[in-house]
Amino acid sequence: MSSLVKIKQNNSVTEFLIEPDSHTNSSVLNFLNEKGFFMTAPCGSIGICGGCKIFLISGTLKMLSDNSIINGPAYLKSCRLTFSSGDCEIEIPEKITKKSLSSRTGQIGDLFDSIRICSAGSPSTHKYGLAIDIGTTNMSIILISLEYGRIICEKHVINSQIAFAGDVVSRIDLCYRDKAMISVLEACVVEKSIIPTLDLILKETLVNPDDISKIVISGNTTMLHLLCGKDPSSMGTYPFTPLFTESIETTFDKITMHSNCEKAIRAKTTLMPGFSAFVGADILSGVYALDLIKTTGNFLLVDIGTNGEITLKHNGGLLVTSTAAGPVFEGFGLDCGLTAIDGAISEFYMHDSEIRFKTINNEEAIGICGSGYISFLSTARKASIIDTLGKFKNGDKELRVKGTSIVITEADIARILQAKAAISSGIKIVLKNAKLTEQDIKKVYLAGSFGSNLRKEYAIGSGILGNFNVSQIECVGNSSLAGCYKYILQNSPSKELTKIKSLGLTLNLNEDPDFSDTYIDSLFLN
């Protein structure tokens, strides 16, 4: 006999009939994603992050591990459950919606303007280019007029792969354990993220796909492997060897050949080169965008994202590394976390001895983005609301944001502290290996969408850039996307990219004897 499953989300209810034993070995998480409910599993569905939590209103579900029955009402991790033989009603938390995750604030700023001024566009029969940055958590696409170098449309969407795992290591592990996941994750990035966004861009701008002549794509090494349908498993075990890090020249229809794109785009397509398994094309593209190898002095480029990539330009070379910050800077795995969208709290500050907040575009508060959490660490520590361990001094386990239903828990703070310690300790180890101090650095470029909404003093006060001063820090937004933009506008940039790649020396933080102690020390708030 069929069982009735009711799914409640955002005040609407959808009903499904499930045949007995039809989902015996499949999780509720997979079922929800198959049916079009956008769910995330930052930990890779191993049950440790709570990112896929649902509320079982009534009825029963069954544990995948031992078939034990769980009765509602209860908050549960959907990756660890399957359906029982009985009826059930499930509610998906309101903040986990595809709409909210796909609406991003703009990231196009001064860096793009300076590139356009320096790069003369040239009239062409085919008048448009596309720059695509595939991040672990989010993806950005811009449509460019080649005649004027002007950005005429930009879109920022979620990378649908996060439904399966939140970081590259977890995605690599999924592919290692099940080779079928390679094509699944490829379909996520191509069919569920890139193609729908391109279709939307073409509809909004009325651009003919035949008029797109150049496409440049950047991303970390794992993302580019999965984009091409290549197995990233070799990057999961020592010596962490990718199948490729070189630039790839192809056509866009070959990348999307298995997709259902409404209008085929056959433009010449370049995949930017990377440095190594965990320092990819995204950071190399940022180095290129900022002309880092043409500068004199010591410069740091820090991409505060899921992979926490760090590049030090020093003595004519590039010391590059990455550190596993995880997706918390994009709001994932946090109780009221959101990516940087309208209505996300981006800043906390003190006023009249009371903690206040600002939201992106002054919309009603719906959650907290990464810059909001970092500003909270800095502000709350300075006001003695939390101690050096991130614990609330009044003994509470959480703080409710005044006038909202939004809370910040001690568990949230612990995850943010771990992420900020990963970045901070990575910077310290890089500087140590170069025999430099923070005072020796001429400029710290803070890259990524996270940095677009973060005030410099909060980066310092939270400890991410604790020993730097405000005058050293410059927020540059999405430098990876800017590098793709620059590549499209400039003539023959391949030689410069080859030179940048040749200058890169990869530092493996885990092999440094001081890394563990440095990381632990960085967990504290000053």
CA-based nearest residue to 227, from 272, 263, 265, 268: 272
The answer to whether 54 touches 61, Cβ cutoff 8 Å, is: no
Query: Which of the two residues, 36 and 412, has the higher pLDDT score?
Result: 412
Query: Which of the two residues, 410 and 526, has the higher pLDDT score?
Result: 410
pLDDT at residue 326, rounded to an integer: 81
d(CA 327, CA 165): 10
How confident is the prediction for the chain on average, in pLDDT?
88
Residue 96: pLDDT above 50? no
- Chain centroid to Cα 86, Å, comes to 38
Instruction: Report the 10 Å Cβ neighbour count for 80.
Output: 18
pLDDT at residue 95, rounded to an integer: 52
pLDDT at residue 105, rounded to an integer: 41
pLDDT at residue 106, rounded to an integer: 46
Residue 122: pLDDT above 80? no
Residue 121: pLDDT above 90? no
Residue 258: pLDDT above 50? yes
Helix boundaries (H) for 390-466: 410-433, 449-452, 456-461
pLDDT at residue 110, rounded to an integer: 66
CA-based nearest residue to 453, from 359, 382, 365, 367: 359
CA-based nearest residue to 220, from 137, 294, 146: 137
Residue 526: pLDDT above 70? yes
Tell me: the pLDDT tens digits for 270-310?
A: 999 999 999 999 999 999 999 999 999 999 999 988 888 99
pLDDT at residue 44, rounded to an integer: 65
> Torsions phi, psi of 357, nearest 5?
-145, 160
Tell me: the pLDDT tens digits for 398-430?
A: 999 999 989 999 999 999 999 999 999 999 999
Residue 10: pLDDT above 90? no
The answer to whether 276 touches 242, Cβ cutoff 8 Å, is: yes
Alpha-carbon torsion (288, 289, 294, 298), positive or negative: negative
Those residues with Cβ within 8 angstroms of residue 21's Cβ, 6 or more apart along the chain or in another chain = none
Those residues with Cβ within 8 angstroms of residue 64's Cβ, 6 or more apart along the chain or in another chain = 25, 27, 80, 81, 82
User: Please, what are the domains in the chain?
Assistant: 3-91 (3.10.20.30), 110-284 (3.30.420.480)
Residue 446: pLDDT above 50? yes
d(CA 65, CA 202): 46
Helix boundaries (H) for 434-478: 449-452, 456-461
pLDDT classification of 137: cutoffs 50, 70, 90? confident
Residue 375: pLDDT above 70? yes
Residue 101: pLDDT above 50? no
Of the ranges 339-348, 449-458, 494-503, the best mean pLDDT one: 494-503
pLDDT at residue 373, rounded to an integer: 95
Tell me: the pLDDT tens digits for 12-35?
A: 899 999 887 776 678 898 888 888
pLDDT classification of 260: cutoffs 50, 70, 90? low
Q: What tokens appear for 180 in the block?
A: 């079928």
Residue 142: pLDDT above 50? yes
pLDDT classification of 125: cutoffs 50, 70, 90? very low
The answer to whether 108 touches 115, Cβ cutoff 8 Å, is: no
> Residue 147 carries which side chain, given as an amino acid letter?
E
> Torsions phi, psi of 138, nearest 5?
-130, 165
